[in-house]
């Protein structure tokens, strides 16, 4: 048994032959860089031809800044609440404390309280879970979500329907939380 690595079969220069000349997979970072390099070089040459050395310098700065901004965007930097990324899992700009939830649930269950904040929070939680697990949006796919939840629970979180006038019954809230957990 020798310490040499096993030789891979295939023509010279084929992917996986160990020569380092593997093709970039479409969609990979390497492939994207290869695809963007030619237009960047052509743009830089165009800047140089149109504006001379000052144009080439300005073009280099412009291409560098644009490349960095695109790289940061692709890498996900700055994916806070004030960016263009608006995903359902981004619930709020701050993480609510448990005390905030206690107040919200207490108000939602109290006949004299306001069930609006509890309904809003439940809608957002359902939106996140349905988007992550089932790829559904309660606002756009209301009929499909109504099928998943059933006629008893759907009116309580239906974003297009009117808010129920009464407070959440404790058993309905319990069923909503259990259903959310089981999705």
111-146 pLDDT per residue, tens: 777 788 888 888 888 888 888 888 887 777 878 888
> Given a cut of 70, is residue 83 above it in pLDDT?
no
Burial 34-71 (b: 16+ CB within 10 A, else e): eeeeeebeeebeebbeeeeeeebeebeeebeeeeeeee
Residue that wins the pLDDT comparison between 90 and 116: 116
| Alpha-carbon separation of residue 38 from 30, 32, 60, 62 (angstroms) | 13, 11, 14, 16
**Which residues, other chains included, contact 3 with Cβ-Cβ below 8 Å and sequence gap of 6+?**
none
Rg (C-alpha) for the chain, rounded Å, is: 27
What local confidence, expressed as pLDDT, does residue 21 receive?
Answer: 56
Instruction: Kindly state the percentage of the chain with pLDDT values over 70.
Output: 73
Residue that wins the pLDDT comparison between 82 and 121: 121
Contact criterion met (CB below 8 Å) for 105 and 174? no
> What does the block give as tokens for 68?
């960095």
Q: What is the DSSP letter of 25?
A: P
Least confident of 7-16, 19-28, 101-110, 160-169: 7-16
Domain ranges of the chain: 23-79, 98-182
């Amino acid at each position: 048994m020798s310490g040499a690595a096993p030789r891979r079969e295939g023509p010279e220069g084929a992917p996986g032959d160990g020569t380092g000349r593997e093709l970039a997979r479409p969609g990979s970072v390497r492939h994207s860089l290869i695809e963007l390099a030619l237009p960047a070089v052509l743009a830089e040459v165009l800047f140089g031809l149109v504006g001379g050395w000052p144009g080439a310098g300005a073009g280099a700065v412009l291409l560098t800044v644009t490349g960095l901004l695109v790289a940061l965007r692709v890498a996900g930097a700055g994916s806070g609440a004030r960016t263009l990324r608006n995903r359902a899992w981004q619930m709020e700009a701050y993480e609510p404390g448990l005390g905030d939830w206690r107040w919200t649930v207490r108000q939602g269950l109290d006949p004299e309280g306001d069930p609006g904040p509890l309904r809003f929070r439940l809608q957002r939680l359902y939106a996140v879970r349905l988007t992550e697990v089932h790829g559904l949006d309660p606002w756009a796919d209301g009929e499909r979500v109504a099928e998943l939840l059933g006629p008893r629970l759907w009116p309580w979180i239906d974003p297009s329907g009117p808010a129920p006038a009464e407070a959440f019954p404790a058993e309905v809230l319990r069923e909503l939380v259990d259903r959310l957990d089981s999705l």
